[in-house]
Chain A
Amino acid sequence: MIARILDYLTKVERLFASLLIFVLTTFVVVDVGAREIMKTGIPWAQKGAVYMMIWAGFLGAILVTQKFEHLRPEVADKLWKSKLRVPYLRFHNLLVFSFSVAMAYYSFGYVMESKEFGDRNVIIDMPMWFLQVIIPYTFSSMSLRYFYFIFFPCEKDPQAVH
């Protein structure tokens, strides 16, 4: 049940992240083209692309979490073999879950504060909290995944190469 929900969530996040990469690329290309050809750029295009990149980067971090592919030191991996492997993975996930929950909590507070102060981005004329809301979402989504991994630990695909 939880696995299916996470799977569904991952598909939505993947779709959204891919769309963001596509749109941000279009924005930058059109802006550069306009600047080089018509000698006048689109004032909001680069800034808009930066915020899309921020969203895509955070969503990408969730996708990487789902695949267990975050960069990490692997020097002590060999210490945890056979019987110790599963308890190790559970504790590993518990620690990352705790960090993600703390980040989700503080980022939610940060966004609420930003909303309260009415901060706006003048270039794209948008409230800052709307742009920042991806931070608590990311850490909440990651917390959910790491919570699931505590009970159902899994590992990085050894064939994965980036």
Chain B
Amino acid sequence: MSTGLMILMALIVSLLFGLPLFVIMGSIAAICYLTISGESMAVIIGDIFYAADKEILLAIPLFILAGQIMTKGTISGRLINFAKSLTAGVPGGLGLAAILSCAVFAAISGSSPVTLIAIGTLMYPALVEAGYSKKLAAGALSTGGTLGIIIPPSIPMIIFAIMAGVSVVDLFKAGIGPGILLVFLLCGYMIYARPKIHTTRFSGQDFLTNLRKGFFSLLMPIIILGGIYSGFFTATESAAVAVVYAIIVEFFLHREITLKKFVMVFSETAEMLGMLFLILILAVSLNKFMTLEQLPQQMVDWMSGLISSKLGFLIAVNILLLFVGCIMDVMSAILVLAPILTPMAVHYGINPIHFGIIMIVNLEIGYLTPPIGINLFVASGIFKLPLMDVIKSVLPFLLVMILGLAIISAFPAISLSFV
């Protein structure tokens, strides 16, 4: 039986029986090593230990830990109050506050579903009470929640950097421009689609009070991004600073995290790390095999025969990734596709950092597309809306996101000018 046929069979069985991704990665790596290189599975064990022995990986548990600590308190409430007072007086101000709260919270938590739960639970009733339709409120919050992976620090960006062999810091810097663009576009749509309701007046007193209450939470992304952008921190150092800052803010300034919650945070961090860890190191083993056998180069040669222009490749890859976003979660898609697609992108003259951002924005949209768009299910649960209604609610926002994706793809400067 040929290797290709064995891999195909393994994939069919894996999909049919919903096997964990680490089993799928490991099985494919084992088939490749056994049949092509004639090596035993022991090679994979050596590979996974070598893959795990990298200092850059330390940034993953540290950023997860910082996000977990910061989200245990009442930071979401503080951010919402600040955003509300900031946008008071602007038509559709509450809608803008929803998007801005999601963006800042996402930068701190780094998780899209967690952002949706934390901000959505407080903001959805407020939006509906203020006269926003349930559809608009659910759509805005579900979409705003996805900003977590494009606004640095972002775990998917670290994973992409490892799999594609690019700088994490450069990728973080490159995420700033597209993140701001998407926030602007979503805010623009919220102003356009706002209901005809009375606009509240801006109050300097309220603004200053809420700024004081939310100041330390707002400062976190500024410290992290400022440190990275100025070249003062490496990715791992910025993650360490994030943890220390989170502990200081939640323990000594906000005083909202109990010792019990603090202990739980370490256990939850270990679980979240465990969820990614096996898949990541097995994917690196598979990636090493592909590189040794020059598979990415063969894929590039094959693709060159089909598509001749950079524009053609960009269109094809965006369509592919939008489709992939519908059927795979972000991490899985990056682990599987980044090593294959990045050399192709480079072949067509696309900067690998820019390509990483394109890939992440595509997969961000995948949070909103059935059948596995996780934000749709989370929104349906927390807003008590039928899944179909949530899907309909995000449709206009999906178009806005796709417009953003097109702009980000067409203008590399949006991503690369910060690098």
Task: Tell me if B279 counts as interface (CB < 8 A to partner A).
Answer: yes
Task: Tell me if B42 counts as interface (CB < 8 A to partner A).
Answer: yes
**Contact indicator per residue, chain A 43-58, by CB within 8 Å of chain B (1) or not (0):** 0001101110110111
- Rounded to whole Å, the gap between the CB of A7 and the closest CB of chain B is 15
Task: Tell me if B55 counts as interface (CB < 8 A to partner A).
Answer: yes
Docked Cα-Cα span, A29 to B61, in Å, equals 13
Residues of A within 8 A of B23 (CB): 95-96, 99
| Cβ < 8 Å to A, chain B residues 197-256 | 236-237, 239-241, 243-244
Residues of A within 8 A of B385 (CB): none
Task: Tell me if B267 counts as interface (CB < 8 A to partner A).
Answer: yes
Docked Cα-Cα span, A49 to B58, in Å, equals 8
A57 touches B45 (CB 8 A): no
Residues of A within 8 A of B117 (CB): 161
A61 touches B378 (CB 8 A): no
**Contact indicator per residue, chain B 42-78, by CB within 8 Å of chain A (1) or not (0):** 1011101100111101100110010000000000000
B274 touches A64 (CB 8 A): yes
Residues of A within 8 A of B244 (CB): 29
Given A74-B372, A77-B18, A103-B41, residue A21 in contact with residue B269 (CB < 8 A): yes
**Contact indicator per residue, chain A 23-35, by CB within 8 Å of chain B (1) or not (0):** 0110011001000
Docked Cα-Cα span, A20 to B267, in Å, equals 10
A24 touches B58 (CB 8 A): yes
Stretch at the interface among B93-101, B128-136, B327-335, B403-411: B327-335
Residues of B within 8 A of A71 (CB): 20-21, 275, 279, 329, 331-332
B277 touches A99 (CB 8 A): no
Q: Which of B20, B114, B236 contacts A28 (CB 8 A)?
A: B236
Q: Chain A: which residue is nearest B27 at the CB level?
A: A99
Residues of B within 8 A of A132 (CB): 49
Q: Which of B19, B49, B61, B113 contacts A53 (CB 8 A)?
A: B61
**Contact indicator per residue, chain B 258-300, by CB within 8 Å of chain A (1) or not (0):** 0000010011011111111111000000000000000000000
Residues of B within 8 A of A79 (CB): 16
Q: Chain A: which residue is nearest B52 at the CB level?
A: A54
Residues of A within 8 A of B20 (CB): 70-72, 96
Task: Tell me if B111 counts as interface (CB < 8 A to partner A).
Answer: yes
Residues of A within 8 A of B236 (CB): 28, 32, 46
Residues of A within 8 A of B269 (CB): 18, 21
A76 touches B15 (CB 8 A): yes
Q: Chain A: which residue is nearest B243 at the CB level?
A: A25
Task: Tell me if B17 counts as interface (CB < 8 A to partner A).
Answer: yes
A60 touches B274 (CB 8 A): yes
B interface residues (Cβ-Cβ under 8 A, vs A) = 13-24, 26-27, 30, 40-42, 44-46, 48-49, 52-55, 57-58, 61-62, 65, 111, 113-114, 117, 236-237, 239-241, 243-244, 263, 266-267, 269-279, 327-329, 331-332, 371-372, 374, 378, 381
A interface residues (Cβ-Cβ under 8 A, vs B) = 14, 17-22, 24-25, 28-29, 32, 46-47, 49-51, 53-54, 56-64, 67, 69-77, 79, 88, 91-92, 95-96, 99, 102-103, 106-107, 109-110, 113, 132, 135, 159, 161-162
Apart from A47-B55, A58-B278, A106-B44, what 11 extra A-B contacts exist at CB < 8 Å?
A14-B270, A56-B270, A57-B273, A57-B277, A60-B273, A63-B271, A69-B271, A73-B14, A91-B17, A161-B113, A161-B114
Q: Jot down 23 A-B pairs with beta carbons below 8 A, ordered by A.
A: A21-B269, A24-B61, A28-B239, A29-B240, A50-B52, A50-B57, A53-B58, A56-B61, A56-B273, A56-B274, A57-B52, A57-B61, A60-B277, A63-B271, A63-B274, A64-B271, A67-B271, A69-B271, A71-B331, A75-B18, A102-B30, A161-B113, A162-B275
Which 6 interchain pairs have the tightest Cβ spacing? A60-B274, A57-B277, A17-B270, A70-B20, A18-B266, A61-B274
